[in-house]
Amino acid sequence: MEKLIGKNKVSTAIFISGTGSNFKNLIKFSLLKRSPIKIKCVISNTKNAKGLKYANKYGIKKKIYDFKKNKNFENKIINFLKNNDINLICLAGFMKILPPIFIRKFNGIILNIHPSLLPKYKGLNTHQRVIENNEKFTGCTVHFVNSKLDSGKIILQKRIKVFKKDNPLSLSKRVLKKEHQLYPKAILKVFSNL
List the one residue from 115, 139, 152, 184 that touches ligand GRF (CB under 6 A).
Answer: 115
Binding-site string for ligand GRF from residue 46 to residue 65, where x marks contact by CB under 6 A and - marks none: -----x--------------
Task: Determine the Cα–Cα distance for residues 26 and 60; give it in Å rounded to an integer.
Answer: 12
Q: Cβ of residue 189: shortest distance to ligand GRF, in angstroms? A: 18
DSSP state of 20: -
Under DSSP, the state recorded for 48 is T
- Rounded CA separation 45/89 (Å): 15
Here's the x/- map for ligand GRF, 116-155, by CB under 6 A: it reads as ----------------------------------------
Which alpha helices (H) appear in the chain, and where do they start and end?
Answer: 21-30, 52-58, 73-83, 100-105, 126-132, 168-192
Contact region for ligand GRF (CB under 6 A) — 29-37, 62-70, 113-121, 142-150?
113-121
- Active-site residue list: 114
Which residue of this chain has its Cβ atom nearest to ligand GRF in the complex? 93
Query: What is the rounded radius of gyration, in angstroms, for the C-alpha atoms of the chain?
Result: 16
179 contributes a contact to ligand GRF by CB under 6 A = yes
- Closest CB to ligand GRF among 14 and 86? 14
Task: For residue 51, give the amino acid letter.
Answer: G
